[in-house]
């Protein structure tokens, strides 16, 4: 079932005073005429039930970001800012810019309105124990007006980068030393953020990127994936949920999109629900309906979805900082072929890539399973040590 919305935790806010001394109590507006990407327009203490254990100050903010759909104008986006407990180190806490995985496209699914999952609580707490503050965007259109254009790399990158700008400009005890970190949808978003950062936010001191379960889609890779899914005996795949979200995001801003050109009559009823259902609920519905990629996609699917597939492309894979990737050999949500395709393309583009392949781990398990390796990688990039490239990982 979808995680409960923030309204169930509103009473907790009344007793939360984690940050009242540092920013205006429950909300503040930016002066007119000075609004720019990264301007905070509202802030409130984050309820304890929505944060991380053993954390210090925590906020939920609304900030302005460039509209990634059109590449101009400003839109409101929400995010969480969570600092470690205790006094900040000299110069402030470095930042993990956290890009979250798929939750859905409805506003109620926004991570800042829901408790942190057990997996992410363990993962983000480990980063906090390493001495990082967490800045976690919801992405454009999740928790704020407008459509969430799912897997649109420019949307994701602008949302992440402007959340960090907002945090650095408004929250004391933060340092402009940044790791970009993401899983699944967020793994792709993390790579996108690293790709866009040199031109969109060159003032940010990004040291490296950690991406686990990261999708990478080209026509060739997607064609091979769909061909394999159409073989006899292939049943339910979690990919069908992501395909529905991709289409729902496209339909929300593209008046030319026709769902019946993408999905079969059998799949259309569940697709119609996707725009309003968070991931757990949608997954139950697709399985109950007996949906597979084979019986859900029309022959014209790729043509109908071409604008969304185009928006998933990265502007460049020649990244300015090193990239760590973690892939589980048993990942069914983002098949290893797609993730290793990203490694191959980034290496070919000249990026410094340290790829890890984890034997027996699935899409969820690889997140925390990669922590020891990402810790070593992070120490190296934060202290300016060389990274040992690995473009052809073997299962470990």
- Cα gap 39→326, rounded to integer Å: 33
Residue 210 CA to chain centroid, in angstroms?
12
- On whether the CB atoms of residues 266 and 289 are closer than 8 A, the answer is yes
CA dihedral 13, 115, 326, 376 (to 10 degrees): 40
pLDDT in tens, 350-370: 999 999 999 999 999 999 999
pTM metric for this prediction: 0.91
- Cα gap 65→190, rounded to integer Å: 17
pLDDT in tens, 380-393: 999 999 999 999 99
pLDDT of 84 higher than 50: yes
Nearest Cα to Cα of residue 246 among 71, 103, 105: 105
pLDDT in tens, 136-180: 999 999 999 999 999 999 999 999 999 999 999 999 999 999 999
- On whether the CB atoms of residues 251 and 257 are closer than 8 A, the answer is yes
DSSP state of 30: P
Strands (E) located in the chain: 40-45, 55-66, 74-84, 93-99, 133-137, 174-183, 206-212, 323-328, 353-358
- On whether the CB atoms of residues 203 and 177 are closer than 8 A, the answer is no
């Amino acid at each position: 079932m979808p995680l409960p919305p923030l309204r169930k935790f509103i009473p907790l806010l009344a007793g939360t005073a984690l940050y009242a001394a540092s920013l205006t109590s429950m909300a503040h507006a930016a002066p007119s005429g000075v609004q720019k990407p990264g301007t905070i327009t509202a802030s409130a203490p984050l309820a304890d039930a929505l944060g991380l254990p053993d954390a210090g100050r925590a906020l939920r903010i609304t900030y302005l970001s460039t509209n990634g759909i059109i590449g101009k104008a400003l839109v409101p986006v929400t995010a969480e800012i969570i600092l470690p407990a205790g006094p900040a180190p000299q110069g402030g806490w470095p930042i993990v810019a956290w890009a979250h995985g798929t939750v859905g496209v409805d506003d109620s699914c926004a991570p800042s309105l829901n408790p942190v999952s057990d997996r992410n609580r363990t993962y983000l707490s480990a980063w906090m124990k390493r001495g990082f503050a967490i800045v976690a965007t919801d992405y454009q259109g999740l928790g704020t007006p407008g459509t969430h254009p799912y897997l649109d790399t420019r949307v994701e990158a602008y949302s992440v980068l402007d959340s960090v700008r907002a945090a650095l400009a408004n929250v004391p005890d933060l340092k402009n030393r940044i790791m970009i970190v993401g899983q699944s949808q967020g793994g792709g978003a993390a790579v996108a953020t690293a790709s866009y950062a040199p031109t969109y936010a060159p003032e940010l001191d990004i040291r490296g990127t950690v991406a686990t379960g990261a999708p990478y889609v080209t026509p060739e890779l997607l064609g091979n994936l769909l061909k394999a899914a159409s073989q006899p005996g292939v049943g339910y795949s979690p990919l069908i949920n992501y395909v529905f979200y991709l289409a729902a995001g496209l339909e929300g801003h593209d008046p030319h999109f026709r769902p019946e050109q993408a999905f079969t009559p059998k799949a259309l009823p569940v697709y119609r629900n996707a725009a309003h259902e968070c991931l757990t609920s949608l997954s139950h519905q697709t399985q109950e309906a007996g949906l597979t990629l084979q019986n859900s996609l029309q022959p014209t699917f790729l043509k109908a979805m071409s604008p969304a597939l185009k928006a998933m492309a990265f502007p460049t894979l020649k990244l300015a900082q090193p990239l760590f990737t973690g892939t589980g050999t048993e990942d069914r949500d983002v098949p290893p072929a797609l993730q290793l395709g990203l490694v191959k393309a980034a290496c070919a583009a000249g990026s410094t890539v340290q790829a890890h392949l984890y034997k027996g781990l699935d899409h969820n398990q690889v997140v925390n399973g990669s922590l020891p390796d990402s810790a070593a990688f992070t120490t190296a990039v934060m202290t300016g040590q060389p990274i040992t490239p690995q473009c052809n990982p073997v299962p470990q």
